[in-house]
Amino acid sequence: MTSRTVDGANESHERADHQERSALAAAVARLHHDFDDAVGSAQVESVWDATCHRFDASPVRAFVPILAERRAVKELGTVAATPRTQGPDPVEGR
């Protein structure tokens, strides 16, 4: 194996990592846009983090962003559709 082959493989791997990070960032931005008003930013982040961690051991990374986003949309949609219990208004204290 030549140095050139190793360098080429490293460059290809770095490009794939960058593409995955960009796709993940775009997916979480879409989730925040679509669900922040319904469930809150913290809930979106929590679901997103948990969903992404499900794919940590996946050897094929190309589809992780789309699979993680689909799973998160499904879970957040379920959370958003669940009626919240009436409790005291945190702002008003009533």
* For the chain, percent of residues with pLDDT exceeding 70: 79
Return d(Cα 33, Cα 44) in angstroms, integer. 10
Number of domains present in the structure of the chain: 1
Contacts of 23 (CB under 8 A, 6+ apart): 65, 66
Check pLDDT > 60 for residue 37: yes
CB 54 within 8 A of CB 13: no
* 7 in a structural domain: no
pLDDT at 16: 86
Check pLDDT > 90 for residue 56: yes
The CA angle 35-32-46, to the nearest 5 degrees, is 85
What residues make up the domain containing 65? 13-81
- Segment 56-74 mean pLDDT: 95
| Residue 48: how many other CB atoms lie within 10 Å | 22
Global pTM value: 0.75
* 71 in a structural domain: yes
Check pLDDT > 90 for residue 73: yes
